[in-house]
Amino acid sequence: MKNKLKEILERGGVALGVSVSIGHPDVAEIVGKIGFDFIHFDTQHTPLSMETVQSMMQAISYSQSTPIIRVQWNDISMINRALDIGAHGIIVPFVNNRGDAIKALKYSTFPPKGIRSFGPRRAMLRDPEYMATCDEEILVIPQIETKEALDNVEDILSVDGIEACFIGPYDLSRSLGIFTQWQHPTFEKAIERVLNAAEKTGTAPGMLALTEDATKTIERGFRLVNLGLDTNFLAEGANSVLQRARNARPRK
């Protein structure tokens, strides 16, 4: 197994991705053709089932995009299923402390390092080296999205095996009492705290760029950048075409 997303982050590059929530392989196939570094299949806040995600991942298997899955919770069965169908990384929500991060890592690695159960049915279908490499190649990405996680961010990111993190801006801002107030000093300070902790621990920081222009997100120092959602891109593209047509004036 070779994780191209991990390679980008290890050499200090910026990885650009997209969230996919529309449960059809055609959507994943179209997005996969564009050239995103990673495609994030969100099973936490969408109706996507693992069966559907597997079909969508099969649709991007020809592409250069790395598949990562956000699981519903820091749960061994959810994490095992995501990895067994071939995810190269998992985003784990509500990792609030060092213990939560260690738990996520244990669920994601095979004994003796962890307690992942054997059954990588699709993951090793065309990869005879999977069992020898997966524990080192799979990215386990804790989501920093509460005040508690923010208070413990250095402890979380200092756990051996955690190589990237991801800010959940909506939940984090709500936890801080400033929901969606992206320019609020408290939110800005929270972002800086995560960035500083990531730099101190050699971890790649990530965030959804919907809170600001993606250029600013990258210039801040984020290196795992989610540029948006398939539903938003669909709506924005359709709206743009519609508005241009509405503004057209027929020849008299």
**Would you please indicate which residues are annotated as catalytic (active-site) residues?**
45
Measured distance CA(210)–CA(235) in Å, rounded: 14
CB 222 within 8 A of CB 181: no
Measured distance CA(117)–CA(109) in Å, rounded: 9
CB 160 within 8 A of CB 110: no
- Cα 147 to Cα 94, 97, 103, 110, 128: the distances in Å are 10, 11, 20, 31, 43
Within 8 A by CB and 6+ apart from 67, the residues are 38, 39, 41, 57, 60, 86, 87, 88, 89
Nearest alpha carbon to residue 149 among 139, 159, 134: 159
